[in-house]
Amino acid sequence: MGMTLTQKILAAHAGLDKVEAGQLISAKLDMVLGNDITTPVAVNEFKKAGFDSVFDKNRVAIVLDHFVPNKDIKAAEQSKTCREFANAHCVSHFYDVGRMGIEHALLPEQGVVTAGDCIIGADSHTCTYGALGAFSTGVGSTDMAAGMATGMAWFKVPSAIKFNLIGKLPSNCSGKDVILTIIGTIGVDGALYKSMEFFGEGVKNLSMDDRLCICNMAIEAGAKNGIFPVDDVTMNYLNGRSEREPVVFEADADAEYEKVIDIDLSKIVPTVACPHLPENTRPASELKDIKIDQVVIGSCTNGRMEDMEAAYKILNGKRVAEGIRVIIIPGTMQILRECVIRGYYTAFIDAGAVVSTPTCGPCLGGYMGILAAGEKCVATTNRNFVGRMGHVNSEVYLASPHTAAASALTGYITEYKED
């Protein structure tokens, strides 16, 4: 029996001709990632273990994005720990205020991760980079510490679910609607410790931003990773961007999958995950009576340029509904700058929204958009657990930028329909 795409990458990094689902392996790492919350814990473990150097200063990335610019003294101390460690070990991929972005938007944009890589990150949404044809997965801070020191990590080789994509998305839908539909179908544990592998002729109709969004939320189905094959869309994105030569792997024709799920993209509709689980999905059209208080467009899931374009298309020349707070967060400084150049920034402000420097902020209930008791928010973020964005009696509805922006204009959950 052949190997899946994920298994091919893991075998190569383990120096093995073949691996099988369930096998324990030790693999070489191409990149180790941490942020301002997880890195300080990793630094403490790094020092406790007696390590005195990183395995490669060019293969460690530390991104200050969750509470930066610092929201309080604790956040400032955490960032200080990161800065001191990065300086002491000459970490080349260190991103602070003015350079930083939301980590999973920033690293692909900057070419820090590429096709064929084996990547760990002390953040659960590290699975994002599978969109580039890489194996990437979230780990704990202890594994991050060991990875920084040794350049190695151990894995249990995952089995896989194959998603066969056909057709093309409607114009009012995006990758967010695809992944919400999938999670609504298989559940939050439907891919537990499995690789979600996306194939089919419909893949070519998904942009890189769509793919990054889909892989980003693989963890919300319990997956070890999500991954797309490398095609022309991938290579066009990587060319002139990737700092290392991409390595292209392909699944074997006789690879074994636990199941195959067919997805017709043309039948996807604007989809919303209702409180309090990402699997609790319904068409946006069925939720039009739900009044909201806040809209957040951003995060590592939907803070990319196409997300900003969708928000601009809907909000430009209009005003958000009375009493609705709208927070727009470009994923990186480069995206923010492009928004300024294109006039999006002014349009958002004129529409009655605020625009933030790149930050995870409200997604995890950190800052820049905390919800009070009883408040409801439509967010393009990735989780809607109890208390995720603030008070335990608040509610988060996950949606695409199209749905979020349309809802901002009405004050109710609204399916976007083109004029």
Classify 32 as helix, strand or coil: strand
**pTM for this predicted structure:** 0.95
Burial 352-384 (b: 16+ CB within 10 A, else e): bbebbbbbbbbbbbbbbbbbeeebbbbbbbbbb
Instruction: Give residue 1's pLDDT.
Output: 81
Burial 207-217 (b: 16+ CB within 10 A, else e): bbbbbbbbbbb
Can you say whether residue 77 is alpha, beta or left, with left for phi > 0 and alpha for psi between -120 and 50 degrees? alpha
Give residue 418's pLDDT.
Answer: 80
Task: Supply the pLDDT for residue 100.
Answer: 87
Domain 271-410: give its CATH code: 3.30.499.10
Q: Are 300 and 306 in contact (CB under 8 A)?
A: no
Q: Are 97 and 83 within 8 A, CB to CB?
A: no
Query: Would you write out the chain's pLDDT as a tens digit for each of its 419 residues?
Result: 899 999 999 999 999 999 999 999 999 999 999 999 999 999 999 999 999 999 999 999 999 999 999 999 999 999 999 999 999 999 999 999 999 899 999 999 999 999 999 999 999 999 999 999 999 999 999 999 999 999 999 999 999 999 999 999 999 999 999 999 999 999 999 999 999 999 999 999 999 999 999 999 999 999 999 999 999 999 999 999 999 999 999 999 999 999 999 999 999 999 999 999 999 999 999 999 999 999 999 999 999 999 999 999 999 999 999 999 999 999 999 999 999 999 999 999 999 999 999 999 999 999 999 999 999 999 999 999 999 999 999 999 999 999 999 999 999 999 998 86
Residue ranges in 174-218 assigned as alpha helix (H)? 175-186, 208-216
Place of tokens 């820049």: 368
- Which residues are within 8 A (CB) of 205 and not within 5 positions of it... i.e. 6 or more apart? 167, 168, 169, 265
Tell me the CA end-to-end span of the chain in Å, nearest whole number: 51
Question: Which residue do the tokens 């395995």 mark?
Answer: 55
Beta-bridge mates of residue 327: 296, 354
Q: Domain spans of the chain?
A: 5-264, 271-410
Domain 5-264 identical in fold to domain 271-410: yes
In the structure encoding, which two tokens stand for residue 298, read together? 């951003």
As its CATH architecture, domain 5-264 has 2-Layer Sandwich (3.30)
Question: What are the structure tokens assigned to 73, written together?
Answer: 């003294």
